[in-house]
Amino acid sequence: MLSTSPVVANSKRDWRAVILDRDRFLQLERPQAGEAATFCYYRKASGWDKQGYSIACSLLRDVHSKRTVAMSPKLIDLLFILQAWLKINKLPSKILVTSGYRTPEYNSSLEGAAKQSMHVRAMAADITIPGVGTEQIAKLAKAIGVGGVGVYPSRNFIHVDIGRVRSWRASLEEPPSGDWLAQYSREEVDLALNLSETPDLNRVVFV
């Protein structure tokens, strides 16, 4: 679980601690399994809610191997802080989980997956938030500052984990071969390349 102790400097509380200081409701969806839930996994008065935590672990399971394990509470808190900040700022906030826990066997079958992946340790999730750009989600995750953040723009998701603090960006996919550029006029290409880029800042149900 993320620290909820006050920040000493200026006698002000860490903004993350302020967000965590309440009953914690999380809204997750797992498209591959056709499941979604809004649930309370932590209650301020009594601590971790067993049923809510179990729902979180189920939605973050390895859907390919059909295996559920105990996910890191710190990872669940990280997802909660991400979602809470978006809600406070009146932005879309529903988190779609594309990958959570992975068995070692399934992880090994994935091209490019790290052998020591944090997914295998139940400490990582790949997520997307419809309506919010990957760059903005990554910027927020970095500001939370509790682990790794990877951006995969061509696949429209970000990776978050609660390992050491670090960040990376996956290479963009190569453009298609052949005369794909011929379909555009010179004026269209010039216009596109001259535009400045501004990044856009209690029960499981079946959907």
Per-residue pLDDT, 92:
96
The tens digit of pLDDT for each residue in 176-192 reads 444 544 555 656 555 55
What pTM did the predictor assign? 0.77
Per-residue pLDDT, 166:
94
d(CA 207, CA 96): 13
d(CA 166, CA 5): 23
Residue 122 contacts residue 70 (beta carbons within 8 Å)? yes
Residue 101 contacts residue 107 (beta carbons within 8 Å)? no
Domain 16-170 has CATH 3.90.1010.10: no
- The lowest-confidence range among 67-76, 111-120, 161-170 is 111-120
* Closest among 122, 123, 99, 95 to 112, alpha carbons compared: 99
d(CA 68, CA 177): 42
Q: Is the pLDDT of residue 151 over 70?
A: yes
The tens digit of pLDDT for each residue in 2-21 reads 443 333 334 456 889 999 99
d(CA 120, CA 140): 24
Among residues of the chain, what percentage have pLDDT more than 70? Answer: 75
Q: Is the pLDDT of residue 44 over 90?
A: yes
Q: How many residues make up the chain in this entry?
A: 207
Sequence letter at residue 91: L
Per-residue pLDDT, 182:
56
What's the CA angle centered on 13, arms 7 and 15, to 5 degrees? 110
d(CA 155, CA 138): 14
Per-residue pLDDT, 183:
56
* Closest among 108, 111, 130, 112 to 120, alpha carbons compared: 108
Mean pLDDT across the stretch 43-69? Answer: 97
Q: Output 116 or 122, whichever has higher pLDDT.
A: 122
Q: Report CA torsion sign: 84, 71, 109, 35.
A: negative
Residue owning tokens 């001259």? 194
d(CA 21, CA 178): 56
54 C-beta neighbours (distance < 10 Å), count: 15
Task: Spell out the domain ranges in the chain.
Answer: 16-170
Residue 59 contacts residue 30 (beta carbons within 8 Å)? yes
